[in-house]
Amino acid sequence: MIATRILLFFMFIVAGAPGIQAQSSGENAIAAAVAARQYQFEVTMVRPSKGGQRTMTGGYTLKLAHDTLSCDLPYMGRVYQASMNSDDAGIKFRSTQFEYNSADRKKGGWNITIKPKDQRNVGAMNLTVFDDGSATLDVTSNDRQPISYSGHVSPIHK
């Protein structure tokens, strides 16, 4: 009876080991992507300052490819200074001039601050990346209400 329980216990441990290793390699891929500045944040949920959260399915992203930042995010909220350009409906830009600071979080993951220098509308982007790849992005703007996004980060393969 005890031998059977011990055998079942070891079988359970051995059966779970590949899943633990796969999760670990996924976390290592996220860590390597953040360190190399080669990652993409994909939006799955939007939380405007006022109103409820909304699920997104449209492939909205924030991509960092070492020295180039590409942003295509939806925007819902109050705009204080209207634009005559209909392309300004979301937060869309490409920048090679930005400040980038990354710091390790105490409970794992990273706090990343991005400040585009060549975009008049975007003040700061604060990306919090967790070890499992889930992430939140808070965007403050000079002429709009702040907005938050939830999603996940994945490596960009060259």
Mind listing the pLDDT tens digit for each residue in 33-50? 999 999 999 999 999 888
Q: Which of 76-103 are b and which e, b meaning 16 or more Cβ less than 10 Å from the residue's Cβ?
A: beeeeeeeeeeebeebebebeebeeeee
Average pLDDT over every residue of 51-69: 89
pTM as predicted:
0.78
Percent of the residues in the chain that have a pLDDT greater than 70, as a whole number? 75
71, pLDDT greater than 80: yes
E-state strands within the chain: 38-48, 54-55, 61-65, 68-73, 91-95, 98-104, 110-116, 122-129, 134-141, 147-155
pLDDT, position 84: 55
Domains of the chain from N-terminus onward: 2-155 (2.40.128.410)
20, pLDDT greater than 60: no
Q: Cα angle vertex 127, ends 123, 129, to 5°?
A: 175
